[in-house]
Structure 1
């Protein structure tokens, strides 16, 4: 994996998703243009910070969004979209997002960042 953006150290980083970011709320997959997408993504990122024992103050902006993508993994449907995001957070949390991806199902290849 390439080195993380230098801006991680500044507390603000722009990430481009290499694979669709999967965000789900109440059984519905959300896309970047959907109401509630930013709130749910921010909630998920704060939860990840808490799980890692890192500062959980996070602000997310969607700068660009790709088209809706539908994938089936292990017999389950996943719907998401790539996006370019600007995330404000502690440098160590930005590093964790870069290394581990964001959204749901990162271990299945979703939400990986460049």
Structure 2
């Protein structure tokens, strides 16, 4: 079930919905997560929160916002990446343990 949640969280960040206009340095389009959370949580904060923006890890940058809905929409995919990282780490550790249990001490993998 975790795989479905992380996939939805990660996919929901892709800027597939076109927008009217943005500044020259902004990523074109908006994500489903951002659009839905902006509509559901229309709260302006008295302070700014950092959020990650960009289409990929290569175009990733940090932007600041006072809009709680925008922050939530941009943070949802981060949760997906955290869950995915946990899963991959767990798979690697269990694989190394299993491998080491099957073979002689001199053939074991160090970690």
TM-score (norm 2): 0.28
Higher strand share: 1
| Relative contact order higher in (CA < 8 Å, ≥ 6 apart) | 1
